[in-house]
Amino acid sequence: MTEAQQVEFLEHLRNGMRRGAAAYAMGLTRMEVADFIAEDGNEDFEKAVLDAEGEAHEHVEEAIWQAAVSGSVAAARLWLSLKKKPESNMPVLYEEPGDDDDELEAIARLTTE
């Protein structure tokens, strides 16, 4: 991958695209990108990929957090389940059958705005 392609790929990842979708958007295959990342000498790019993916995750987590502290019970449940530590005794909260999914749909829309 050229330097310009690397920059474009990282920008796609920061905007929430998965690796395969970002590769496809650039006219590359998922395996071409995976092979490039795995090549010796591309460790810095691999770290940049992980950082860009982490940044995208943080944007989604921030939207969920904002919805949770604004009173969305569904967002609060989701936030707590995301932050639950494996050794925690805190119960995992699930929606009851028949619960309205409007709040979860609203959270999904927040991440695209």
SS (H, E, C) 36-94: HHHCCCCHHHHHHHHHHHHHHHHHHHHHHHHHHHCCCHHHHHHHHHHHCCCCCCCCCCC
Mean pLDDT of 72-84: 83
Q: Are 89 and 71 in contact (CB under 8 A)?
A: no
Give the position of tokens 């006219």.
Answer: 27
Number of domains in the chain: 1
Q: Are 67 and 29 in contact (CB under 8 A)?
A: no
Could you report the per-residue pLDDT of 6-21, keeping only the tens digit for each? 999 999 999 999 999 9
Owning domain of residue 39: 3-110
How far is it, in rounded angstroms, from Cα 57 to Cα 40?
27
Mean pLDDT of the chain: 83
